[in-house]
Structure 1
Amino acid sequence: MLKKTATKNDDVKQIICIKWGTKYGAHYANKLYGMVSRNITPPFRFICFTDDPTDVRPEIECQELPPLDVTMPTNTLGKWPKSRLWGEKLGDVTGVVLFLDLDVVIVDSLDPFFEYGEPDDVILSYNPSNPLERLGQTSCFRFKVGSLVSLQEKFKSDPQGIADKYRFEQRFVTRNVPGGVKLFPKKWVAHFRRKCRQPFPLNYFKAPKIPKGARIIIFPGGLYPTNAINGQYTSKSADNALDHLKQIKDPKNLKHPLRHLRHFILPVGWVKENWKE
């Protein structure tokens, strides 16, 4: 059930993303904008904080990466450059924002993400990776600009130490937001590998599905929308069942044959239909 509306109907819904380095090209931001525009009730803003606005579509407001004078942690799994978004100021953006990772796939309306909770709430999506730990996921989360300053200050004091302790920035956010975080309903944001894939042996006969109630599909762990479209578990995986089965002869796969058999997906048409400009 939705809680008290966090934004008024006439407020501009603000979507933000961050793009740095070369891992994600402009087409990721462009496709994300396309999905947002098809799944939100206007008015809305879409802001991309980036170090390279080349080829980003004109509807997207490109702003410089927020300054953060620290050496980012190394040899860590977390996406710590997201800490740039935690400052007192965020370009010319104020108020409530919904952050989305560049590689998510939107399959239903985003409006409820702006209606859930109170404007001052920090709300993360549910992370299913550690079911015994109340852990949020920062692939999709909502906050008010300036509300996470204490997190940024703590991170700045010892970036590598914080990363070593918490490993993932989402765990750091979950544990350290003043007053605690809230979580969006579990079904709204679905983990592709955990919630969409078919179990073995159905994965060889049925394509991954959209879970009931899902609005956003996230792709952690090296499986990207392009892989799902091609029917690959990773970028190095076979894109057909016969070649995948042949790979079981590889010594590393022989050690864990069932895991290898489970790690196969058929091409996913609904990802291709939604992940476009």
Structure 2
Amino acid sequence: MKWGTKYGPDYVNRLYGMVRRHLSGEFNFVCLTDDAQGIRAEVQCLPIPPLNLQLKPGQRDGAWKKLTTFEGDLHGLRGTALFLDLDVVIVGSLDDFFTQRGEFLIIKDYHRFWRFGERIVGNSSVYRFTLGAHADVLAHFRGHMAEAQKQYRNEQEFLSHFLHKQGKLSYWPAEWCPSFKYHCIPTWPSNYWKPPFVPKNARIVIFHGEVNPPDALAGKRNKRFAHIEPALWVGEAWKG
């Protein structure tokens, strides 16, 4: 999905290129977007379904738009869908993401030392589902928008809890989708001379928080008193 101006068409084009290199066979690559200009011809661009969020003044809609992927009829699309955030970097085969058993699969959100206890929340950078099979997720949100936004921090927390209660939530193997900032940056102080690395068995590296792929490639971390060396492997993987 691409909306607004944070990510340009180059992110879509690079993502398509990575998928083409790492997924066997034929597939349909779809971008739900409000602006298809500059996106390569191999990508099927379709409008983002309306969500009609009731926002307070100055409030942003965040990633709640992702829930529109669960429309009962999403532009007539059918089959198995693998949702990928625009800013991921694919470094290994995607084939197993389509054969892994489970009704709904998502990244198990990364452990933070300040959060205690077991968490069921998924990270929605990569999730797989059958198109049209979870229309109740979107219907419930549309009918309880204010309540859901008050109870849940973001769309992935709402989504995870909703499907967990139905017994439909499963997680990818942890090594498939490592976090760049948690799993790829060498520990202090070696991060000052050792470059970020690709963890063993990684398939998709997730960029969330203060680092995105161009920053990682340039050795830039948008956090005070933090340092990373250039991750040159990003330049090899993150291309159209």
Tell me, yes or no, whether TM beats 0.5. Answer: yes
* 1:81 Cα deviation from its structure 2 partner: 1.1
* 1:25 Cα deviation from its structure 2 partner: 0.7
- For the residues of structure 1 that align with 2:236 and 2:54, how far apart are their CA atoms? 39
Corresponding letter in the other structure for 2:148: I
* 1:78 Cα deviation from its structure 2 partner: 5.0
Q: Any conservation in 2 of the 1:34–1:276 contact (CA below 8 Å)? A: yes
- 1:88 is matched with which residue? 72
Secondary structure of the structure 2 residue equivalent to 1:58: coil
Q: What count of residue pairs does the alignment treat as equivalent?
A: 233
- 1:204 is matched with which residue? 192
Corresponding letter in the other structure for 1:137: N
- 1:23 is matched with which residue? 6
Deviations 1:84-135 (A, max 9, x none): 11210111311210000000000000000001015xx011012113573122
Q: Any conservation in 2 of the 1:77–1:168 contact (CA below 8 Å)? A: no
Distance of aligned partners of 1:57 and 1:35 in 2 relative to their CA distance in 1, 3 Å threshold: same
Q: Which moved more, 1:177-186 or 1:152-161?
A: 152-161
* 1:215 Cα deviation from its structure 2 partner: 0.1
Q: Any conservation in 2 of the 1:86–1:148 contact (CA below 8 Å)? A: yes
Q: Any conservation in 2 of the 1:126–1:137 contact (CA below 8 Å)? A: yes
Q: Which moved more, 1:96-105 or 1:217-226?
A: 217-226
- 1:12 is matched with which residue? none
Secondary structure of the structure 1 residue equivalent to 2:235: helix
- 1:257 is matched with which residue? none
1:128 maps to 2:106: no
Secondary structure of the structure 1 residue equivalent to 2:69: helix
Q: In the TM superposition, what are the counterparts of 1:6-17 in structure 2 within 5 Å? A: none
Secondary structure of the structure 1 residue equivalent to 2:66: helix
- 1:268 is matched with which residue? 231
- 1:67 is matched with which residue? 50
1:32 maps to 2:4: no
Q: 1:176 aligns with which of 162, 166, 185?
A: 162
Q: 2:215 aligns with which of 223, 227, 232?
A: 227
Q: In the TM superposition, what are the counterparts of 1:89-128 in structure 2 within 5 Å? A: 89-118=73-102, 121-128=103-110
Secondary structure of the structure 2 residue equivalent to 1:133: coil
Deviations 1:118-162 (A, max 9, x none): 5xx011012113573122111000011122211111211232331
* 1:69 Cα deviation from its structure 2 partner: 3.3
Distance of aligned partners of 1:33 and 1:140 in 2 relative to their CA distance in 1, 3 Å threshold: same
Deviations 1:144-201 (A, max 9, x none): 1122211111211232331221102111111101333000100000110001011100
Q: 2:205 aligns with which of 214, 217, 229?
A: 217
Q: 1:186 aligns with which of 174, 188, 191?
A: 174
- For the residues of structure 2 that align with 1:194 and 1:150, how far apart are their CA atoms? 34
- For the residues of structure 1 that align with 2:14 and 2:27, how far apart are their CA atoms? 16
1:159 maps to 2:159: no
Q: If the length of structure 1 is used for normalisation, what is the TM-score?
A: 0.79
- For the residues of structure 2 that align with 1:180 and 1:42, how far apart are their CA atoms? 28
Q: Any conservation in 1 of the 2:120–2:161 contact (CA below 8 Å)? A: no
- 1:144 is matched with which residue? 130
- For the residues of structure 2 that align with 1:225 and 1:161, how far apart are their CA atoms? 35
Q: Any conservation in 1 of the 2:55–2:61 contact (CA below 8 Å)? A: no
Q: If the length of structure 2 is used for normalisation, what is the TM-score?
A: 0.91
- Unaligned residue ranges in structure 2 (runs of 5+): none
Secondary structure of the structure 1 residue equivalent to 2:138: helix
Corresponding letter in the other structure for 2:32: F
Distance of aligned partners of 1:169 and 1:86 in 2 relative to their CA distance in 1, 3 Å threshold: same
Q: Which moved more, 1:201-210 or 1:176-185?
A: 176-185
* 1:47 Cα deviation from its structure 2 partner: 0.5
Corresponding letter in the other structure for 1:180: K
